[in-house]
């Protein structure tokens, strides 16, 4: 039974900086300590993009130092707040494909995990580059990975959700070529689950008949009203990470609000 821990939207900042008064470094450090204590047996901890809030080198370097404390092995992805070339300067050992995109396929005994690079840049023209995109080269790469998976269940990890989330502002910057993505995925028929971030909210459901899970950030969260057109608004709600377990019959998905979670249960 393969176990994944999923962190997304870390938004690391330089030392002394904060986001709505919150310290991304401290919140992620608490999450890493929590994983080390309770999930040191995880097969992979996946960091699903928006690693640094401003895509600056000092933030990536702070993140790299912090990840050195993690016990299970890590796999890194990038999102719309990242800059591919700056990330790769700091994380030179990060996996990339033959075209330099930050994506990889990892095989386990019971599944193939496919980590996608959905960054719609360069050029870094905001707000357009906040949306997600899979170009022809990345779709061709995904096509090969799904083909090579064969009968093995495939799990896709991507920063941008490939469908609407219900939040007006976020949905304007989701994966812009979702029809291309789903046409490819449905043709193969072996994708068992899609995992995403970007929204800063815990969401689950299905799209085109494929189950999906979206996770909250370890830092700040998306305000709950659906009709807010501004995607940059944030609220201080508990930090979280996801837990995915591949079972004999499918995939189990949990979320852990680790800063408020308690292990000392009481009898009602």
What is the mean predicted confidence (pLDDT) over 194-199?
97
Asked whether residue 34 is assigned to any structural domain, the reply reads yes
Asked whether residue 264 is assigned to any structural domain, the reply reads no
Chain centroid, CA 124 distance in Å: 20
Asked whether residue 226 is assigned to any structural domain, the reply reads yes
Percent of the chain at pLDDT > 90 equals: 84
3-class DSSP string for 167-213? CHHHHCCCECCHHHHHHHHHHHCCEEEEEECCCCCCEEEEECCEEEE
Mean pLDDT of the chain: 94
Task: Work out how many domains the chain is built from and give that number.
Answer: 1
Structure confidence at residue 195 as a pLDDT band (50, 70, 90): very high
Residue 108 has pLDDT above 90, yes or no: yes
Least confident of 108-112, 140-144, 159-163, 220-224: 220-224
Domain CATH code at residue 196: 3.60.21.10
Structure confidence at residue 153 as a pLDDT band (50, 70, 90): very high
Asked whether residue 263 is assigned to any structural domain, the reply reads no
- Asked if 90 and 62 touch (Cβ cutoff 8 Å), the reply is no
Asked whether residue 261 is assigned to any structural domain, the reply reads no
Reported pTM: 0.95
Asked whether residue 233 is assigned to any structural domain, the reply reads yes
Asked whether residue 211 is assigned to any structural domain, the reply reads yes
What residues make up the domain containing 159?
Answer: 3-256
Asked whether residue 265 is assigned to any structural domain, the reply reads no
- Asked if 52 and 11 touch (Cβ cutoff 8 Å), the reply is yes
Residue 223 has pLDDT above 90, yes or no: no
């Amino acid at each position: 039974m393969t176990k994944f821990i999923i962190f997304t939207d870390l938004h690391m900042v330089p030392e002394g900086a904060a986001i709505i008064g919150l310290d991304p470094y401290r919140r992620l450090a608490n999450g890493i300590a929590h994983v080390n204590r309770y999930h040191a047996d995880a097969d992979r901890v996946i960091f699903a993009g928006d690693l640094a809030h401003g895509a600056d080198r000092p933030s990536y370097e702070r993140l790299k130092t912090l990840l050195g404390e993690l016990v299970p092995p890590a796999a890194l992805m990038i999102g719309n707040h990242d800059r591919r070339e700056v990330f790769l300067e700091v994380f030179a050992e990060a996996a990339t494909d033959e075209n330099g995109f930050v994506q990889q396929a990892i095989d386990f005994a019971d599944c193939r995990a496919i980590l996608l690079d959905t960054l719609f840049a360069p050029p870094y023209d905001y707000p357009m580059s906040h949306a997600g995109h899979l170009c022809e080269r990345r779709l061709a790469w995904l096509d090969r990975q799904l083909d090579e998976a064969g009968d093995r269940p495939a799990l896709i990890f991507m920063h941008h959700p490939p469908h609407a989330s219900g939040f007006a502002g976020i949905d304007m910057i989701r994966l812009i070529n979702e029809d291309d993505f789903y046409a490819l995925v449905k043709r193969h028929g072996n994708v068992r689950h899609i995992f995403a971030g970007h929204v800063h909210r815990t969401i689950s459901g299905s799209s085109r008949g494929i189950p999906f899970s979206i996770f909250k950030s370890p830092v700040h969260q998306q305000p709950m009203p659906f009709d807010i057109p501004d995607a940059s608004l944030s609220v201080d709600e508990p930090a979280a990470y996801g837990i995915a377990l591949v079972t004999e019959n499918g995939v189990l998905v949990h979320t852990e609000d680790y800063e408020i979670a308690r292990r000392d249960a009481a009898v009602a």
